[in-house]
Amino acid sequence: QLQLQGSGPGLVKPSETLSLTCAVSSGSISDSDYWWGWIRQPPGKWLEWIGSIYHSGATYYNSSLKSRVAISVDTSKNSFSLRLSSVTAADTAVYYCARQPSYGKWYFNLWGRGALVTVSS
């Protein structure tokens, strides 16, 4: 069964760039019409969609984060990645990678375990 595993530094300094990678296992990131997304959740708060990517590289971003976000895909490594620049304490959150069934199917039916990223000096 396909699984997602996010990974990356757990601590990032203010003004630096947060980088996370989500590895897709037991399946191909290029399979079917899946889109792949990043969602975050600050401690004790609600979920926030960051953006989604197709294996071709097509992307959609949350307009409130678009100026700082870049999501990319590496089909050779069967993974996709998130970069969030100029981070502040407000970017401290658990970051989830997740799968959308297809474009137009705007829900997430498979989630990774989540990676806590703390922004602090």
Partner 1 sequence: QSALAQPASVSGSPGQSITISCTGTYSDVEKHNLVSWYRQYPGKAPEVIIFEVNKGPSGISNRFSGSKSGNTASLTIFGLQAEDEADYYCCSYADTPTHVVFGGGTKLTVL
Nearer to partner 1, 14 or 33 (CB): 33
Which residues in the 30-89 window bind partner 1 by CB under 8 A? 46-49, 52, 60-63, 66
Task: Note whether 96 binds partner 1 by CB under 8 A.
Answer: yes
Of the candidates 43, 47, 49, 80, the one whose C-alpha atom is nearest the C-alpha of residue 64 is 49
Q: Kind of pairing, strands 79-84 and 59-61?
A: unpaired
Nearer to partner 1, 62 or 78 (CB): 62
Nearer to partner 1, 8 or 111 (CB): 111
For the CA atoms of 60, 61, 63, 68, the dihedral, rounded to the nearest 10 degrees, stands at -140
Helices (H) and strands (E) in the chain, counts: 0, 11
Q: Give contact residues for partner 1 (rule: CB under 8 A).
A: 46-49, 52, 60-63, 66, 96, 105-109, 111-114
